[in-house]
Structure 1
């Protein structure tokens, strides 16, 4: 059993995770055609790619996450993620773990601000013997009151291991949205031990419904996935999340640290505006999403601008693009020694207000994005993540070649046009670490 905070698809974030291949697939993932249908009996969305992979992956995804929490239930989805694999109506914790291990499978939970997913990975010949455990973990929770407190040490451990760059991104969302998308993926320390079994069960009963559910799979036929999904015990409610509202603002957290970490952002497009979302994804790569060679440097326009401003190399900077269903953030994350943090932050804010990018930068950004889309199509876990996000958030699935074609349609003038809107956008700023030289938000206007 394992759990993870979030693994983001290509168009939502720059992070791309790479896994060692377990076995060579008989047929390329990119050549297989994704299929989708909505079941009539329980309204569950089903999507699958039967790519002849020797490893079958099945995810049960619910369209709910930390944005669906309230002020008094902040951290609930973190508790829910930790509770994956505890006793259910039909299985004990020992029974779930022992059987999955015996069959050589892997069962884990992931959460995002907009989804909770339970994923099973196992060889195709053992899939039928393990699907019932996936169903139990995702839809048959009971949250026994004597099991929940036992998870608190693990919660505390996870909170102690959150990197500073992740913490600053959580602060940035809080500053930008305040509630909803502003609620963190991680539980506040004040909430440890205060999320009861009744609260967890109420959240599951409210949001784990058929209309908010998708079952996606790779290495499995659509008919087999549909048969499994049609028997899921999910509610019939149709509750939707409140629309997000971008506010902008500033949050700072001073800590004893050798580094200053700062994130600056403006509101960008959500996935409900597909053309703009793809344009922002291209813009991120054009501005600079980090070095493409491990331990190497980058020649991105962002890096050049900041280097010329401080005449030093004691910093790291990259652009990020976080797109959600109805809103998004586009900005820059900076990490530097405290002595240059102020200069770096002012230069980054000035660049974000008026990004300087050439046609060559846009061409490089398009090429990078297209490569990431195609790499993800040949990476089984990344393929499943993208398939699940498309099914649960868009209600449709795309072939990699279709996404590549959409990227090709983006013009340099369109990228420069969306970049030009940043000057009138309201800034959000988050900073953590040694903030002795980091300017306040009103000093950046």
Structure 2
């Protein structure tokens, strides 16, 4: 544990941020932490794909399928994946609201009125990312659900209407993150640690406006054309393996 802390808890991987705090007080606090100025340099992340499965009793299956996504170090690509997440269906924007987009249409066509919950998955890290979907449904419907969502992911087709809706939803999420001190300080901390820069809400909204349909389709093709990974827990009798989704 001490070795891990010594190599990772250092100034190059730390950010001290504050909201409504005097700058001199914040600087003084940061200096008092006496963090080491050097540590073990990080190595780049490599994506391989594969399976992680855990069978448990019950009649539900919970499945995540993903391929390579966008790293926050590449803002243009990261924003394209964020727009894609909202365009495909990142969850209802309002309580009990519908989830529009290609994922919702694909799942509805495959399962009809069967019980299922889903959302596009987008995880962006410093130098890598994951993009795909998560779905929870009754075990007997899991295979059909995963197949339908995988086909939608692999299609790489995102309409202009979906892109515009995705951009609007992402801008709402950004403005919401900047709307309160508690969410703002978390956003500032993440940006400072991962990108070494903190942008204003207006700057991010402007960058989102600059994302094109081609950018979003390129992101979709990057994730969908790659070797996929599958993580699943529950009754997995009907859940396919990653090799079945090729």
**Shorter-chain TM-score above 0.5:** yes
Residue-by-residue CA offset, 1:11-38 (whole Å, 9 max, x unaligned):
xxxxxxxxxxxxxxxxxxxxxxxxxxxx
Q: Does 1:431 align with 2:232?
A: yes
* Separation in 1, partners of 2:93, 2:2: 44
Partner residue, 1:283: 84
Shift of 1:206: 2.7
> Is 1:308–2:117 an aligned residue pair?
no
Alpha-carbon shift at residue 252 of structure 1 (Å): 1.3
Residue aligned with 2:97, SS? coil
Is it true that 1:399 corresponds to 2:200 in the alignment? yes
Question: Post-superposition shift, 1:391?
Answer: 1.1
Residue 51 of structure 2 corresponds to residue 250 of structure 1: yes
Partners of 2:10 and 2:221 in 1: how far apart? Answer: 41
Residue equivalent to 1:419: 220
Quick check: which has more Rg, 1 or 2?
Answer: 1
- Contact 1:283 1:365 (8 Å CA) reproduced: yes
Distance 1:205 1:417, change over 3 A: closer
Task: Give the TM-score, by structure 1 length.
Answer: 0.53
Deviation at 1:310, TM superposition (A): 2.4
Preserved CA contact (<8 Å) 2:49 2:227: yes
Aligned with 2:72 (options 271, 280, 290): 271
Q: Which has the higher contact order (CA 8 A, sep 6+)?
A: 2
Q: Deviations over 1:348-384 (max 9, x none)?
A: 1111111442111111100111111111111222111
Distance 1:443 1:327 in 2: 25
Q: Which runs of 4+ in 1 moved over 4 A?
A: none
Q: What is the number of equivalent residue pairs in this alignment?
A: 246
Q: Which residue of 120, 123, 127 corresponds with 1:319? A: 120
Q: Does 1:379 align with 2:183?
A: no
2:168 is the alignment partner of 1:367? yes
**In structure 2, distance between residues paired with 1:202 and 1:211:** 17
Separation in 2, partners of 1:254, 1:299: 31
Q: Are the aligned partners of 1:354 and 1:422 in contact in 2 as well (CA < 8 Å)?
A: no
Q: In proportion to residue count, which structure has more helix? A: 2
CA contact (8 A) 2:116 2:136 kept: yes
| Deviation (angstroms), 1:418 | 2.0
Unaligned runs of 5+ in 1: 1-199
Q: Which residue of the partner structure matches residue 297 of structure 1? A: 98
Q: What is the SS of the residue equivalent to 2:227? A: coil
In the TM superposition, what is the alpha-carbon distance from 1:239 to its structure 2 partner?
2.1
